[in-house]
Amino acid sequence: MRIVVALGGNALSRRGEPMTADLLRANVRSACHSLATLAREHELVVTHGNGPQVGLLALQNLTYQEVAAYPLDILGAETQGMIGYVVQQELSNILRGERKIANLLTTTVVDDHDPAFEHPTKFIGPQYSAEDVAEVAADYRWTIGKDGNYFRRVVPSPQPIRIIQADAIRLLLDNGYLVVCVGGGGVPVKADSQAGRQSGVQAVIDKDLASAALAEEISADTLVILTDADFVSQDWGTPQQRDILTASVDEIEQLPFAEGSMKPKVDAAIRVAKAGGRALIGPLDRLDELLARKIGTEIRADVPDGIVYA
């Protein structure tokens, strides 16, 4: 079976932890142990987020003022190399040479007229308290959004249209490679097909939506979106909250979900289900139970009852 697994950026840099290289490696190692069985038994693509990491690089950028700060597309490419290197190495160490692994720098085509550029929703970088947020916003001229009980920088997150390296990824899979790619949703670019030119765009693409675009292009059977939630929940955070075990596309499309949080995951799952695959959304640390359908949410086209609650 051909499976795309999307690792959340917060799974690689957990909430409240300092974003050190040692903790990044420890978190990646833990995630890779969870992926080992899948890697041995299936054609596997591993994608990953970069929200915390690209925000950290942007902050570090600002401390050296002798040159202009690097733009978000280049910082996105940096995080692909940084995180992809660690994922590739830790998977190689755990699998002990059982699989060939390739880490591929990936670019994702977006529309530079996407309305997302007028309405930033993608969280990046560290969290700030209510006491600090006004000073940070003023100092850096950032747009700030509320993320749970804290605040974070938000940037545009346009819809991914296609993954430029999809053919190369398919070729690698066909030749037995495990592929690490679409880091941070891929570097956002606009492409002029007539002129044969590409140029970077100042944004960070949602990695779940980009992973869905890739899954569709390489005809993956399953997209697995790993997060820190046990289920997708209807009416989350209210007394009426109900956890969804299985849902059809038609039913779940009718439900509202939070922008910048669960909505992109659900939208990604819907895209894959409409293309004939299925999507699973659930916790990284209980991947076996997610695959066994004991936890997490499955979205596919054919659910006779529409929605089955846990």
Catalytic residue among 8, 9, 184, 186: 9
Q: Is the dihedral of CA 57, 117, 163, 13 positive or negative?
A: positive
Query: Does residue 186 contact residue 161 with C-beta atoms inside 8 Å?
Result: no
Q: Is 207 a catalytic residue?
A: yes
Catalytic residue among 84, 184, 185, 207: 207
Catalytic residue among 122, 186, 260, 277: 122
Ramachandran category for residue 29: left, alpha or beta (phi over 0 → left; psi -120 to 50 → alpha): alpha
Q: Which residues lie below 8 Å from residue 248, measured CB to CB, with a gap of 6+?
A: 299, 300, 301, 302, 303, 306, 307
Q: Is 294 a catalytic residue?
A: no
Query: Does residue 244 contact residue 309 with C-beta atoms inside 8 Å?
Result: yes
Catalytic residue among 27, 49, 125, 265: 265
Rg of the chain (C-alpha set): 19
Q: How far is CA 227 from the centre of its chain?
A: 9
For Cα atoms 283, 288, 289, give the angle at the middle one, nearest 5 degrees: 70
Query: Does residue 225 contact residue 265 with C-beta atoms inside 8 Å?
Result: yes
- What's the residue count for the chain? 310
Q: Is 50 a catalytic residue?
A: no
Catalytic residue among 10, 61, 190, 274: 10
Which residues are identified as catalytic?
Answer: 9-10, 122, 207, 265
